[in-house]
Copies of this chain bind each other. A is one copy, B any other.
Amino acid sequence: MSEKTRLRPGDTIGILGGGQLGRMLAQSAASLGLKTHIFCPDPASPAFDVSDTFTVAPYEDTDALDLFAGAVSVVTYEFENVPGPTAAHLDARVPVRPGVRALEVSQDRLSEKQFLSSAGVAIAGFADINSQADLDAALERLGGKGVLKTRRFGYDGKGQQMIRAAGDAEGAFDKLGAVPAVLEQLIAFDCEVSVIVARDVDGRTACYDLARNHHENHILKTSTVPAGVSESTASAARAMAEQIVTGLDYVGVMGVEMFLVRDGDGERLLVNEIAPRVHNSGHWTQDACLCSQFDQHIRAVAGWPLGSAERHSDAVMENLIGEDTNCWERVLNEANARLHLYGKAEIRSGRKMGHVNRISPKAG
């Protein structure tokens, strides 16, 4: 359903997924006077604690989905791997925002790259890989190096293989599970940056300032704003992000990850990946902007006008992963730090437990 439904205070937003992103969306919704109903199969979902209502059911349970659709004014999601049939079932009953098309595109690395190319956005070279022969041919074309990734369900470095030499390529397709894959050209990039972009039901867009992202063990560790890029690069990043959300007729917040390449030609950007949801690299907006990415997404999916994406402070966001979270007491003693914890009972290696935003007055 795509009509311009606009919510009123007191109306309910349905959220698929009950993790920390759903939790922070529910918190923003509440402070804007909207109710939330979380749908998640996991009975220990962190988002349940802060929502008005929740449903524990598999995403395939159409009876539960029907009740959910009947109880909410609009549906959004906190993760891009919402099963296609779930999204389609809901979309026939209630507006789903950002939208089914955004899910289709971002669930499949090949579709995503094809869409991005067609939208006129700069990306790294890639190839469709359905066999070892496809891989060998593509490697020849892309200079013998690349990253082989499953087309579907990869995240945080899972479902990937790095190919730097002929030995890495041998049998790589089978090692990945002999599933449909893409080969991505290996880019010698300076760093990863990301843009949090939003689009409302009337097609207006807003972009937050670029963040420079640093990963550890394939998991985002810090996002720093300002990112330290030139104004022309920042402007190009915003333009690409806006092209993407406009091309998808998108409603909501999207995270757009880009590689910053610095070579003889100066700075340029290649879009690496899009996430059709609020994004970890946008958590800094909670404490450095009047309107956080969570507020912004709620406003957009509610059919409300976007807020200002302006930033009042410089910021560094640090993820608290696994045992990192034991630093909470130390963080509480830092004057310029705001601790955010997700209420997860169990510490597990690699699990996102919370984050810290450190802010400082805007330089210059």
Which residues of A approach B to under 8 Å, CB–CB?
9-10, 23, 27, 30-33, 35, 49-50, 52, 287, 290-291, 295, 299, 304-305, 307-308, 310, 312-313, 325, 328-329, 332-333, 335-343, 345, 354, 357, 359, 361
Contact = CB atoms under 8 A, between A and B. Distances in A.
A332 B312 contact: no
Contacts of A359: 290, 312
A354 B343 CA distance: 27
A31 B27 contact: yes
A22 to B, nearest CB: 13
18 contacts: A9-B341, A27-B30, A27-B31, A30-B343, A32-B340, A32-B341, A33-B328, A35-B49, A35-B343, A49-B52, A50-B50, A290-B337, A290-B357, A291-B338, A304-B329, A305-B333, A307-B335, A308-B336
A30 B328 CA distance: 14
A295 B290 CA distance: 17
Contacts of A33: 328, 339-343, 354
Contacts of A335: 307-308, 310
Ranked nearest first, the 8 interchain pairs of A and B with the lowest CB-CB distance are A33-B341, A308-B335, A49-B52, A30-B50, A9-B341, A290-B338, A304-B332, A50-B50
Copies of this chain assembled into the complex: 2
Nearest to A6: B329
Given A30-B50, A32-B341, A310-B335, A328 B290 contact: no
Contacts of A9: 325, 328, 341, 343
Given A332-B299, A335-B308, A336-B290, A341 B31 contact: yes
A183 B81 CA distance: 67
Contact of A32 (B50, B336, B339): B339
Contacts of A310: 335
Given A35-B49, A35-B343, A340-B31, A361 B328 contact: no
A139 to B, nearest CB: 47
A31 B305 CA distance: 26
Contacts of A10: 343, 345
B290 A287 contact: yes
Report which residue of A27, A33, A325, A361 has the largest number of chain B beta carbons within 10 angstroms of its beta carbon.
A33
Given A27-B30, A30-B343, 8 more contacts: A27-B31, A27-B50, A30-B49, A290-B336, A290-B357, A304-B332, A308-B336, A312-B312
